[in-house]
Amino acid sequence: MALHQALSARWFWYSILCVLCWGAWALLSKLGSREIPPQTMQFLFTLGTLPVGIALLVARRLKLEKSAKGISYAILNGVLSGVGGLALFAAYHTNGNTSLITAATALYPMITVVLAILILRERLTFLQVIGLASAGFAIVIFSL
Amino acid sequence: MHLPPWFYFAAVTLVAWGIVGLLQKLSTNHISAESSLIWLVVGFLLLEPLFYPGQEGLHYSAWNLAWALLSGTLNALGAWALFAAMKSGGKASVVSPLTALYPLPVVVAVPFLLHESITLLQLVGIICALVAVLLLSS
């Protein structure tokens, strides 16, 4: 019943679209990185994000909230995402195994959870403890 | 201990994106998710002068240039789909872990598309990683 409800819900299909888009993004990043160096990959990647950014801006009729804090965090997000993306392209460029690199870099919520505990004083749930242990185990295996 | 070369780069990605996850929480406390994505693209653009390839950028094959451009579009489209899922009634506690499974189609497609294989132990590692992101995102 729950599955039937999920399958008929819009949010479920948006989530699947997200998984497929990000899966395809990782694969195409690897394909491009076989020839193109990381810096150029990041340059082109950013150009590729522009149509979506512009479409969102147009959809909002060029109206954006004027919170200096929110904007600063979001811009810093972009800079750090770019740095992370550059390193990901560099990892793919080494000819390392695509599945391992994609799975290893997808573990970033591990860092977010730890930072949220240290900075935002959030409390760790039992499931997150198991998640951290599982992430640690995965990293040890990837390092072998 | 000899680590594979990709491991060091992946560690940088892990830390940078880990901080991004935290900043994402902080930015959406003040502005909408869509605005956050628009300003994120502005952040990307700030780095562009550092990575400008000049004439060198024209020497790569058209296919690879297309893959690189399309990777950016699909990444941003995926982020938009995530926000759309949340806005159309999806609970963050369900949508976040579900979308964190994006390496799954990669692992399934790679043997066919790139003819790469993994060992049984590495498969165990990938399963552990997927379980970890599921639990950490919930």
B89: helix, coil or strand? coil
Q: Name the residue facing A84 among B20, B64, B110 (closest C-beta).
A: B20
Name the residue of chain A whose CA is nearest to B71's CA.
Answer: A25
Tell me the nearest-neighbour CA distance from B50 into chain A, angstroms.
8
Tell me the nearest-neighbour CA distance from B95 into chain A, angstroms.
6
User: Is the same domain home to A69 and A44?
Assistant: yes
Given a cut of 90, whether residue A22 has pLDDT beyond it is yes
> Residue B128 in contact with residue A134, Cβ under 8 Å?
yes
User: Is the same domain home to B65 and B114?
Assistant: no
> Residue A48 in contact with residue B70, Cβ under 8 Å?
yes
Token pair belonging to B46: 């700030």
Q: Name the residue facing A14 among B69, B88, B130 (closest C-beta).
A: B88
User: Is the same domain home to B124 and B80?
Assistant: no
Q: Give dist(CA B108, CA B111) in Å, integer.
A: 7
User: Is the same domain home to A32 and A12?
Assistant: yes
Q: Tens place of pLDDT for every residue, chain B, 138 residues?
A: 688 899 999 999 999 999 988 888 888 889 988 899 999 999 999 999 999 998 887 889 999 999 999 999 999 999 999 888 888 888 877 788 888 889 999 999 999 999 999 999 999 999 999 999 888 877
Angle, CA B9 vertex, CA A70 and CA A100 arms, to 5°: 105
User: Is the same domain home to B123 and B109?
Assistant: yes
Query: Cβ contacts (< 8 Å) between A24 and chain B: which residues?
Result: 71, 74, 105
Q: Give dist(CA B132, CA A128) in Å, integer.
A: 8
Q: According to the model, what pLDDT value does residue B94 have?
A: 79
Interval A35-67: pLDDT, tens? 999 999 999 999 999 999 999 999 989 888 889
Range of the domain at A40: 2-96
> Residue A135 in contact with residue A111, Cβ under 8 Å?
no
Mean pLDDT rounded to a whole number for chain A: 91
pLDDT band, residue A13 (cuts 50/70/90): very high
Looking at the structure of chain B, the number of domains it has is: 2
A17: helix, coil or strand? helix
In the predicted model, what is the mean pLDDT of residues A66-84?
94
User: Is the same domain home to B38 and B85?
Assistant: yes
**Residue type (1 letter), B82:** L
Q: According to the model, what pLDDT value does residue A74 have?
A: 93
